[in-house]
């Protein structure tokens, strides 16, 4: 019985996708004594993992190497190793197409890979963020094809990932897990599995509910970020410091949660999840006006940032076409190397369209592909070379105050220089 194997930690877990979600999850299970197969199609990743070297900031190599050496974690690109698994957890990307529609290519590919190895008394859990109904539509049929009764002979569940890269306080093992299965037995089995690595497991009534939980979490963030972005634009017109306003509002001990403006939103979750929700809602003839307006505001922010850069240059007697501009940070958030949906990329494109010479410095991102052109990070910050410096990511190991003291115009979109009185510092 699979339940007994989970209890005894003899169940073999195969995790599909060794990225920001899959690798921390794999190491967490391996540290608890489970045998884990980490599958990825990227051969470079497999080579690094097999040596005990981590490329994910949240997984120190010192945590990875022991479970590689004791054999509890094996990284592979060999599909036949999937046959060893009692439990398969799918942690693959779910981006958007250019048409702003959900792209389930990676999930479909993962399902096709595991299809030949489906067997009785196995469980498949989807963690990839997606629209409500995906688990039923894509995962359940692979059991039905084999004539396996879901909830009795085969188990299917959804458990939304809740990874926050570079968060020092909350790692995979610290964050409660939501679980929703196709049946009550599926839910109970998945809860039993995850209870080995997290402090609390919260079961919901169905996989669809669990899928919706993830979309709610990040749509909530998207809407509130859009609100504060809109207020930031308003405050600039009214000569009010939005950062001061937010800090003051934070002193209220109830009824307020601080969100911060920026040059746009990046990463996988916040730019994509609300679109998944809106897309699915349209199939049910439901309008998501607030969600779509928030997306529109957030998508406008790179354009607003470039407009502000133009104003700063004009104030200092410069035009885009004769200006050298340095972006500090191109990752989507502080202290990570992830550039997915990063607003800095859009800012670079817009600046280049205005004929500005654009460079960037990011200690986490050595190179960046912008519409086929590969840019390399500057090795150091030489402020005197530039006409304007733009803080687009607030990495903790960059001395922004030193940059502000250079006298070069600095446009701070992240509020890291808030409170300084330097005349050359402009806040978003």
**CB-based contact 17:109 (threshold 8 Å):** no
Dist. CA 326–CA 354, nearest whole Å: 15
263-289 per-residue burial string, b: 16 or more CB within 10 A, e: under 16: bbbbbbbbbbbbbbbbebbeeeeeebe
- What is the SS3 assignment for 119-163? CCCEEEEECCCCCCCHHHHHHHHHHHHCCCCECCCEEEEECCCCC
φ/ψ of 170, rounded to 5, equals -115, 110
Closest CA to 298 of 333, 261, 273, 330: 261
Tokens 């299965």 belong to which residue? 181
Give which of 17, 15, 20 is closest to 269, Cα–Cα. Answer: 20
What DSSP string runs through 195-208?
TTTSS-EEE-S-HH
Q: Could you tell me how far CA 346 lies from the centroid of its own chain? A: 17
**How far is residue 270 CA from its own chain's centroid?**
8
Give the alpha-carbon dihedral of 259, 343, 335, 255, to 10 degrees.
Answer: 10
User: Is 14 marked active-site?
Assistant: no
Two tokens, residue 170: 């909350």
What's the half-sphere exposure (Cβ side, CA atoms, 13 Å) at 334? 13
Using DSSP's 3-state secondary structure scheme, residue 38 falls into strand
Query: How far is the C-alpha of 397 from the C-alpha of 407, rounded, in Å?
Result: 21
CB-based contacts of 386, cutoff 8 Å, min separation 6: 324, 325, 326, 359, 408
The catalytic residue among 14, 91, 269, 388 is 269
Phi-psi region of 235 (alpha: psi -120 to 50; beta: other; left: phi over 0): alpha
Q: How far apart are CA 318 and CA 81, in angstroms?
A: 60
Question: CA–CA separation, 151 vs 105, rounded Å?
Answer: 27
- The residues assigned a catalytic role are 269
């Amino acid at each position: 019985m699979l339940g007994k194997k989970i209890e005894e930690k003899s169940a073999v877990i195969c995790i599909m996708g060794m990225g920001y979600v899959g690798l921390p999850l794999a190491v967490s299970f391996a540290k608890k004594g489970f045998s884990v197969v980490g599958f990825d199609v990227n051969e470079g990743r497999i080579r690094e993992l097999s040596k005990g070297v981590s490329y994910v900031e949240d997984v120190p190599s010192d945590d990875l190497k022991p479970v590689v050496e004791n054999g509890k974690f094996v990284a592979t690109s060999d599909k036949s190793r999937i046959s060893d698994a009692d439990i398969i957890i799918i942690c693959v990307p779910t981006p958007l197409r250019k048409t702003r529609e959900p792209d389930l290519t990676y999930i479909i590919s993962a399902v096709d890979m595991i299809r030949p190895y489906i067997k009785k008394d196995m469980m498949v859990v989807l963690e990839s963020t997606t629209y409500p109904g995906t688990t039923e539509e894509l995962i359940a049929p692979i059991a039905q094809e084999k004539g396996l009764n879901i909830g009795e002979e085969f188990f299917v569940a959804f458990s939304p990932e809740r990874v926050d890269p570079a968060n020092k306080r909350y790692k995979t093992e610290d964050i409660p897990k939501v679980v929703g299965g196709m049946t009550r037995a599926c839910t109970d089995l998945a809860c039993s599995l995850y209870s080995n690595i997290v402090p609390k497991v919260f079961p919901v009534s169905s996989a669809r509910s669990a899928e919706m939980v993830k979309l709610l979490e990040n749509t909530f963030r998207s809407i509130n970020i859009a609100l504060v972005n809109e207020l930031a634009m308003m405050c600039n017109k009214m000569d009010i410091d939005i950062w001061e306003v937010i800090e003051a509002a934070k002193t209220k001990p109830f009824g307020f949660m601080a969100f911060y403006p920026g040059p746009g939103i990046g990463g996988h979750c916040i730019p994509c999840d609300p679109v998944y929700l809106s897309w699915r809602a349209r199939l049910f003839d439901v309008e998501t006006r607030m969600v779509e307006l928030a997306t529109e505001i957030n998508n406008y922010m790179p354009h607003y940032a470039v407009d502000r850069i133009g104003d700063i240059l004009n104030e200092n007697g410069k035009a885009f076409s004769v200006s050298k501009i340095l972006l500090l940070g191109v990752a989507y958030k502080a202290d990570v190397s992830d550039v997915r949906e990063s607003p800095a990329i859009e800012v670079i494109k817009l600046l280049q369209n205005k004929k500005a010479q654009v460079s960037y410095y990011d200690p986490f991102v050595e190179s960046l592909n912008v519409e086929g052109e590969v840019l390399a990070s500057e090795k150091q910050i030489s402020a005197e070379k530039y006409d304007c410096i733009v803080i687009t990511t607030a990495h903790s190991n960059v001395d922004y105050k030193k940059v502000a003291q250079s006298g070069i115009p600095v446009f701070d979109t992240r509020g890291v220089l808030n409170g300084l009185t330097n005349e050359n510092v402009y806040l978003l």
